[in-house]
Amino acid sequence: MFPEFLSIGLHSCLHCGSFSVWESLLCFQCERKLFEVSMNQIEFSREVKNITCLSLFRWQKDRNRILNRLSMALKGQFQGPAWNYYAERFLDEWLKQDTLAISAVFVPCPAINDAHDHAYLFAKALAKLTGIPLLNALQRVDVKEQKRMSRLERQRLLETKFVLRPNINEKFSHVYFVDDIITTGTTIQAAKEHLKKLGHVKALSLIIRE
């Protein structure tokens, strides 16, 4: 009757612990609160580092406990159904404000050791919903954690954070760089330095953090 409803007893809401949990990883009440508090309707599209960024949720300090827990729960390689759900919600909002490019590609932010992590799962879900292909165009060359770097160190690593994979030379009208969270914009700026060779770059994320 409710295909998105998970079996009672197997999972619980990541915020309140209720066993009536949905594919969102939340119960109905917590999911509704998440969208009421954190939905990024006003600034779904905004400029970060001169790059157009589309984000479903807006994280604000001290207001987003549910979103904070959700962002942590979605990390890794094992939340495919949840990413499918949030990709649907993301696409609903995207189509209200823009049209999809005809010649385009989704490029996930590469993980360390090329694991199919959260960014890949988000991009894969969007690709399935839209019919736009997914392309693993980037390879990570720096594995030092950004959060431990100074601003100056981040700038120095801007050019060397990613490289284009060999034999990636096809041209597109748009290249959609996909990640779970946008914070300072350093990662999307580094990605753009390489992806702009393939087409016009936009960034897509579940969350934008201010």
Within a domain: residue 20?
Answer: no
Domain count for the chain: 1
Domain carrying residue 175 = 39-209
Within a domain: residue 177?
Answer: yes
Within a domain: residue 152?
Answer: yes
Query: Which tens digits make up the pLDDT trace of 71-83?
Result: 999 998 889 999 9
Give the number of other CB atoms < 10 A from CB of residue 138: 21
Output the pLDDT for position 5. Answer: 45
Query: Which tens digits make up the pLDDT trace of 133-188?
Result: 999 999 988 655 555 666 666 666 555 689 999 999 899 999 999 999 999 899 99
Question: Cβ(206)–Cβ(126) under 8 Å?
Answer: no
- Enumerate residues 6+ apart whose C-beta is below 8 A from 44: 54, 55, 56, 93, 94, 97
Within a domain: residue 22?
Answer: no
Within a domain: residue 21?
Answer: no
Within a domain: residue 9?
Answer: no
Within a domain: residue 32?
Answer: no
- Tell me the C-alpha distance between 64 and 103, whole Å: 36
**Dihedral sign, CA of 91, 111, 193, 144?**
positive
Within a domain: residue 100?
Answer: yes
Write down the pTM of the prediction: 0.86
CATH number, residue 97? 3.40.50
Quote the tokens at residue 49. Answer: 């580092």
